[in-house]
Amino acid sequence: MPKMLKFTELSKETPVKEKINNRVSNFNEIYREFIDKKAKEQASRCSQCGTPFCQVHCPLHNNIPDWLKMTAEGRLQEAYEISSSTNNMPEVCGSICPQDRLCEGNCVIEQSGHGTVTIGAVEKFLTNTAWENNWIKPIVPKTELKETVGIIGAGPAGLAAAEQLRKQGFQITVYDRYDRAGGLLIYGIPNFKLEKDVVLRRVKYLKESKIKIIHNFEVGKNAKLKELTMKHDAVLIATGVYKPREINLEGSNLKNIYPAMEFLTASNKKGLGDAVEEFDNGNLNCENKNVVVIGGGDTAMDCVRTAIRQKAKNVSCLYRRDKENMPGSAREVLNAEEEGVKFIWLSSPKLFTGDKKVESVLVQKMKLGEPDTSGRQRPEIIPGKEEIIKADIVIKALGFDAEDIPTLFNEPELEVTRWGTIKADLKTLRTNIKGVFAAGDIVRGASLVVWAIRDGRDAAEAISNYLVNKRKKIIAA
């Protein structure tokens, strides 16, 4: 049986990345999977520390040291069971979580200079091994309950809540406005980070667990929110946030300036075999074009790396701060740099020029000044320092805000915050409407997938408590 604490004799190893020329020629995931032996070796490097900071800094508080120990010992099914007990989508988190900012970035042996345990890669290995060995079975609750729950949104928060509630025996219906379940996982994140078969496999498992998913269903059009509250014993709003933040500059109305989600959705739909008119007519296809992406988060990295794979002539990324202050994953920035993306740090667009279509971007140079209220240095314009960058297509990746849910759902009484997110009690996740709960980005604001899963699990617990207490009151009466 392998011993743990092998970080002093075994160096850190990550899964092999495909060679750059190979990976930019297709949309396949760029990291090869660990083989059994390597996964066990890397798991054995865990120091089994008394205070596992990896677990503390994981939004799901995954019991990482335990499942690493079991992996090292070859107890893979037990390791998977512990991993999945706190995470509804371990294989997804293993692929797309920014481990460098969360678990791995806070690993004790990383802090001591030995290189972090490659937690994400082992997590992904465990779950894929579980699928391959048929360890993952459809949910069969001990007792079927009569209460029904309607969930609006088939993204990570909604699907996590659906699974947790189904395990308890509740009857679940998920309503989603798209033609496939998965939300951001399907239409927002490119295949080279998360292959769509991984998401579709998870959705199939949920459907086989008798969770009903209704596609192409828009609340407010197909049914009002009030009608869903009459149909179900509880309703969860888990729509996410998809309204793109705008950049109101001269020339913003020119053609070929697109929000990030429109660009990424078109690319992902093509990858899924759909006909996409705006891509097929060349508008959302970057081939042989000068591409400018504005933004510095993970969505911006998805856009620049997608443009590279679409055979763009040049891809430039404008970010108003420097590399050290980028909000996106450092790993994704490195991948983008390797693939040929040009980063123009400390720069911000001033105006877009062109006749009917955008032809160039006038960029103003910035410097970092005094910290703002968040503690980050505030970017300031350097007067008179500007440059012009050619642009056949501009993609705005500036983040997302909440849509006007009360108007969309035809429910003006639904309370929202000043940011447009749904106002929900932080402990119970209840909205001001009886029996209606809200969770995920539509409450938190745009955030990570792992936080959406956490919020979905919390919502499931809150809804379960609400329905059980409601049942007890009816029996007592």
| pLDDT digits 0-9 by tens, 6-28 | 776 778 888 999 999 999 999 99
Distance from C-alpha of 136 to C-alpha of 129, rounded to nearest angstrom: 10
**The dihedral of CA 291, 356, 268, 310: what is its sign?**
negative
Q: Identify how many contiguous H helices and E strands the chain contains and give both numbers.
A: 19, 15
pLDDT on residue 194: 96
DSSP string, 281-342: TTTT--TT-EEEEE--SHHHHHHHHHHHHTT-SEEEEE-SS-GGG-SS-HHHHHHHHHTTPE
Burial of 434 (0-12, 13-18, 19+ CB in 10 A): exposed
Q: Which of 465, 427, 476 minimizes the C-alpha distance to 233?
A: 465
H-state helical runs in 322-425: 330-338, 405-408
Q: What are the mean pLDDT values of the chain's consecutive 10-residue runs (477 residues total)?
A: 68 89 95 86 90 94 96 96 97 94 91 88 96 97 97 98 98 97 97 96 98 98 98 98 93 96 97 96 97 96 98 98 89 96 97 96 96 87 96 97 97 97 97 98 97 98 96 76
Distance from C-alpha of 429 to C-alpha of 96, rounded to nearest angstrom: 26
Looking at the chain, how many residues does it have? 477
Whole-prediction pTM value? 0.95
- Residue 306's Cβ-side half-sphere holds a number of Cα atoms within 13 Å equal to 32
User: What are the chain's domains?
Assistant: 6-132 (1.10.1060.10), 148-241+402-476 (3.50.50.60), 248-396 (3.50.50.60)
